[in-house]
Structure 1
Amino acid sequence: MLSSRRSRQVLRNCGVLATVLSATVACSSSTSGHGKGGRVHLAFIYSTTSQNPFQEMAFGAKAAAQDAGNVDLTESAPPKIDGPAEVSQFQAATRTSTDGIAMETLNPDLFVRPLKQASDAKVPVVAVDTAPPDGTAVGLYIGNSNTELGRSLATEIIKHIPVGTTGEVVLGNDIPGLALLGQRLDGMKQVIQAERPTLTVLGPFDSGSEPTENFNKWNDLVKAHPNAVAYLGAGASDAVSLALIEKNTGKKFLVGSCDPDAQALQAVKNGYAAALASPEHWLKGYVALALLAQHASTGQALPQGWWNTGSLIINSDNIDQIIDRQSSEASRKAWFAAEVKKQLADPAQYLKPMNQAN
Structure 2
Amino acid sequence: MRPHRYVAAFAVAALLAGCGTAEPSANAPLKMAFVYATSTQNPFQEMAFGAKAAASNAGNVDLALSAPSQVDGPQEVQLFQSAIRNSKDGVALETLTPDLFVRPLNQATDLGVPVVAVDTAPPAGTKVDLYIGNSNTELGRMLGEEFVKQVPEGTTGEVVLGNAIPGLTLLQQRLDGMKSVIEAKRPGLRISGPFDSGSEPTSNFNKWNDIVKAHPDAIGYLGVGAQDAVSLALIQKNTGRKFLAGSCDPDIAALQAVKDGYVFALASPEHWLKGYVALSLLIEHKRNGKELPKGWWNTGSLVVNAANIDQIIARQKDEDTRKAAFKAETDKQLADPSKYLKSIGDAN
The TM tier, using the shorter chain, reads: over 0.9
Task: Work out which of the residue numbers 287, 305, 310 in structure 2 matches 1:320.
Answer: 310
Q: Is residue 194 from structure 1 mapped to residue 164 from structure 2 by the alignment? A: no
Q: Is residue 220 from structure 1 mapped to residue 210 from structure 2 by the alignment? A: yes
Equivalence for 1:263: 253
Shift of 1:36: 6.7
CA distance in 2, matches of 1:341, 1:248: 44
Letter in 2 for 1:105: T
Equivalence for 2:34: 44
Equivalence for 2:4: none
Which protein shows a greater Rg?
2
Shift of 1:37: 6.0
**Contact preservation (8 Å) 2:27, 2:60:** no
Task: Work out which of the residue numbers 158, 162, 176 in structure 1 matches 2:152.
Answer: 162
Other structure's SS at 2:267 match: strand
Equivalence for 1:348: 338
CA distance in 1, matches of 2:106, 2:319: 34
Shift of 1:227: 1.1
Task: Work out which of the residue numbers 270, 286, 291 in structure 2 matches 1:296.
Answer: 286
Shift of 1:235: 0.4
Q: How does 1:60-99 map to 2 (within 5 A)?
A: 60-99=50-89
Relative to structure 1, the CA distance from residue 222 to residue 39 in structure 2 (aligned partners, 3 Å threshold; closer, same or farther) is same
**Contact preservation (8 Å) 1:32, 1:299:** no
Other structure's SS at 2:162 match: strand
Other structure's SS at 1:47 match: coil
Q: Is residue 235 from structure 1 mapped to residue 225 from structure 2 by the alignment? A: yes
**How many residues are paired up?**
329
Deviations for 1:99-149, whole angstroms, at most 9, x for unmatched residues? Answer: 110000000000000001001111010000000001110010000000000
Letter in 2 for 1:251: R
CA distance in 1, matches of 2:44, 2:155: 37
Task: Work out which of the residue numbers 121, 140, 160 in structure 2 matches 1:131.
Answer: 121
Relative to structure 1, the CA distance from residue 30 to residue 156 in structure 2 (aligned partners, 3 Å threshold; closer, same or farther) is farther
Letter in 1 for 2:211: L
CA distance in 2, matches of 1:218, 1:31: 60
Letter in 1 for 2:273: L
The alignment yields a C-alpha RMSD, in angstroms, of 1.3
**Contact preservation (8 Å) 2:49, 2:272:** yes
Other structure's SS at 1:175 match: coil
Equivalence for 1:331: 321
Q: Relative to structure 2, which stretch is displaced further, 35-44 or 346-355?
A: 35-44
Equivalence for 2:13: none
Equivalence for 1:12: none
Listed as ranges, the gaps of 5+ residues in structure 2 are: 1-19
CA distance in 1, matches of 2:22, 2:187: 58
**Contact preservation (8 Å) 2:27, 2:59:** no
CA distance in 2, matches of 1:221, 1:166: 20
CA distance in 1, matches of 2:22, 2:66: 30
TM-score in terms of structure 1 length: 0.90
TM-score in terms of structure 2 length: 0.93
Higher relative contact order (CA 8 A, sep 6+): 1
Other structure's SS at 1:316 match: coil
Deviations for 1:164-200, whole angstroms, at most 9, x for unmatched residues? Answer: 1111110000000000000000000000000001111
Equivalence for 2:296: 306
Shift of 1:47: 0.5
CA distance in 2, matches of 1:98, 1:230: 48
**Contact preservation (8 Å) 2:246, 2:264:** yes
Q: Is residue 184 from structure 1 mapped to residue 174 from structure 2 by the alignment? A: yes
Relative to structure 1, the CA distance from residue 85 to residue 347 in structure 2 (aligned partners, 3 Å threshold; closer, same or farther) is same
Equivalence for 2:94: 104
Shift of 1:30: 8.7
Other structure's SS at 2:116 match: strand
**Contact preservation (8 Å) 1:31, 1:298:** no
Listed as ranges, the gaps of 5+ residues in structure 1 are: 1-28
**Contact preservation (8 Å) 1:46, 1:86:** yes
CA distance in 2, matches of 1:80, 1:346: 36
Q: Which runs of 4+ in 1 moved over 3 A?
A: 29-33
**Contact preservation (8 Å) 1:218, 1:242:** yes
Other structure's SS at 1:81 match: coil
Shift of 1:70: 2.2
Shift of 1:75: 0.5
Relative to structure 1, the CA distance from residue 154 to residue 37 in structure 2 (aligned partners, 3 Å threshold; closer, same or farther) is closer
